[in-house]
């Protein structure tokens, strides 16, 4: 028998949000046009000078540090969590992870036995189901209502019918930009407590909320301390996704278990970057940069979504946070277009993604990996000129299609 890799490695899907880069580059090279890239879920600006200076200084920390993370940074995060969502977690209740992805990955290994079910609220970030599968769990998808909001009745039925042990969602949502209301979180919390299950709240976009809305967390609801786990990090608010830092806050026994596993998986997060994050979370300059970024992306959302909703066959809810637009394009299914001498039908969100690449020179991510076939995700984390140009290209291409 020849050498083979594991079935798990074969079955795990590549990240849809990261795998388009090669295709974009290939089209640009072959046909000589420039594609406007609205795929990346990362800010278009980086850290402030004081944070970069701290990273340079932190380079002196070249030996292993505490697996749970820098104690001083965990103390700062304790204050940040208390200030922003109104709940106090001691530094011992917080672990620094190698990005939010690693935090979720290890959490699934801590909370799930092989074959147990994890509920994932749709639409969802593409990594959620794969993180469940990597822990040998079974992802169970909970459909949203027509406005991409939580559906408590459907959630309760899914939890009961599938014997769900862990529930996972993001708010503000990637990909939809939906922000869960206090009432919606109360309904979710009620089910979580009644059924005695875990809930993981991904709040990585909590600093990017629009139109005067306030970010709410399920962790702040009375009685949720024993069931709820927070995952968050600096990548979106400070423009440092490439630094691969995140954190987890929750019940101490969960944090202890996560730290034990992390010691074997990656030995803990980068010490220089943790040192720099001490400055980021306490810097007025960094806080001001985050607010400026939030205002720009709110304006981008206004321009782009208002424009999309004027295009035949496209319908988009207005995002209340994060930095994405997630329109329905189902009404355009069945259309056809020509490119390079061939005719192509549009039957799926992948087909529509390819149509945009070829005819509008705009790159976006198909909706299926987010649990929503018939939708497509645009990242608005760019400059206003790119947003306006992309919108014009899409309008022109769809106008020909219609």
Cβ distance 164 to 140 under 8 Å? yes
Cβ distance 251 to 226 under 8 Å? yes
Q: Which of 254, 283, 312 is the last residue before a domain boundary?
A: 283
Are residue 163 and residue 274 in the same domain, yes or no?
Answer: yes
DSSP state letters, 151-179: -HHHHHHHHHHHTEEEEEEESS-TTT---
Place of tokens 């140009």: 389
358-388: pLDDT as tens digits: 999 999 999 999 999 999 999 999 999 999 9
All residue ranges of the chain with pLDDT < 50 are: none
Are residue 303 and residue 278 in the same domain, yes or no?
Answer: no
In angstroms, the CA 26 to CA 336 distance is 23
Q: In this predicted structure, what is the pLDDT of residue 12? A: 79
Q: In this predicted structure, what is the pLDDT of residue 71? A: 98
Are residue 80 and residue 218 in the same domain, yes or no?
Answer: yes
Place of tokens 């990090």: 233
Q: In this predicted structure, what is the pLDDT of residue 13? A: 77
Are residue 262 and residue 128 in the same domain, yes or no?
Answer: yes
Q: Residue 122: count other Cβ atoms within 10 Å of its Cβ.
A: 19
Q: Which of 283, 316, 344 is the last residue before a domain boundary?
A: 283
In angstroms, the CA 184 to CA 277 distance is 32
Q: Which of 261, 283, 305 is the last residue before a domain boundary?
A: 283
Are residue 202 and residue 349 in the same domain, yes or no?
Answer: no
Are residue 147 and residue 266 in the same domain, yes or no?
Answer: yes
Instruction: Write out the two tokens for 75.
Output: 């103390």
Q: Which domain holds residue 188?
A: 49-283
Are residue 128 and residue 196 in the same domain, yes or no?
Answer: yes
Residue 2 belongs to a domain: no
In angstroms, the CA 145 to CA 149 distance is 5
Instruction: Write out the two tokens for 175.
Output: 């990909």
Are residue 259 and residue 301 in the same domain, yes or no?
Answer: no
Q: In this predicted structure, what is the pLDDT of residue 402? A: 57
Are residue 324 and residue 253 in the same domain, yes or no?
Answer: no
Please state the pTM of the whole predicted model: 0.94
Are residue 82 and residue 182 in the same domain, yes or no?
Answer: yes
Cβ distance 328 to 366 under 8 Å? no
Residue 243 belongs to a domain: yes
Are residue 272 and residue 189 in the same domain, yes or no?
Answer: yes
Q: In this predicted structure, what is the pLDDT of residue 19? A: 66
Backbone angles phi, psi at 202, to 5 degrees: -90, 110
Instruction: Write out the two tokens for 318.
Output: 């207005």
CATH number, residue 363: 3.90.1150.10
Number of domains in the chain: 2
Backbone angles phi, psi at 315, to 5 degrees: -135, 125
| Nearest partner of 172 among 209, 137, 199, judged by Cα | 209
């Amino acid at each position: 028998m020849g050498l083979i890799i594991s079935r798990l490695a074969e079955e795990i899907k590549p990240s849809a949000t990261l795998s388009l880069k090669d295709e974009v580059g290939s089209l640009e090279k072959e046909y000589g046009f420039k594609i406007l890239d609205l795929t990346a879920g990362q800010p278009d600006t980086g850290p402030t000078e004081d944070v970069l200076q701290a990273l340079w200084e932190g380079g002196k920390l070249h030996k292993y540090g505490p697996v749970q993370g820098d104690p001083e940074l965990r103390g700062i995060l304790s204050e940040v969590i208390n200030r922003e969502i109104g709940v106090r977690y001691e530094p011992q209740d917080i672990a620094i992870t190698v990005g939010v992805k690693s935090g979720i990955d290890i959490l699934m290994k801590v909370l799930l036995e092989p074959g147990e079910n994890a509920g994932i609220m749709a639409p969802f970030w593409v990594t959620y189901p794969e993180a469940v599968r990597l822990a040998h769990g079974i992802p169970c998808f909970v459909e949203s209502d027509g406005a991409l909001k939580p559906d408590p009745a459907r959630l309760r039925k899914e939890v009961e019918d599938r014997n769900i042990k862990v529930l996972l969602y993001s708010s503000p949502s990637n990909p939809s930009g939906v922000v869960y209301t206090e009432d919606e979180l109360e309904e979710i919390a009620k089910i979580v407590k009644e059924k005695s299950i875990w809930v993981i709240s991904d709040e990585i976009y909590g600093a990017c909320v629009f139109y005067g809305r306030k970010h709410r967390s399920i962790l702040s609801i009375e009685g949720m301390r024993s069931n709820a786990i927070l995952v968050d990090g600096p990548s979106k608010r400070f423009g440092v996704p490439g630094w691969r830092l995140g954190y987890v806050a929750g019940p101490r026994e969960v944090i202890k278990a996560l730290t034990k596993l992390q010691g074997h998986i990656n030995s803990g997060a980068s010490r220089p970057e943790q040192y720099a994050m001490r400055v980021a979370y306490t810097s007025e300059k960094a806080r001001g940069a985050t607010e400026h970024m939030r205002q720009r992306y709110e304006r981008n959302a206004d321009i782009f979504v208002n424009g999309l909703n004027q295009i035949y066959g496209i319908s988009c809810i207005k995002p209340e946070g994060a930095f994405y637009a997630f329109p329905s394009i189902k009404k355009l299914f069945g259309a056809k277009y020509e490119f390079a001498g061939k005719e192509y039908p549009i039957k799926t969100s992948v087909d529509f993604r390819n149509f945009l690449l070829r005819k509008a020179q705009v790159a976006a991510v198909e909706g299926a990996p987010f649990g929503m076939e018939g939708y497509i995700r645009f990242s608005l984390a760019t400059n206003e000129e790119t947003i306006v140009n992309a919108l014009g290209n899409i309008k022109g291409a769809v106008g020909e299609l219609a």
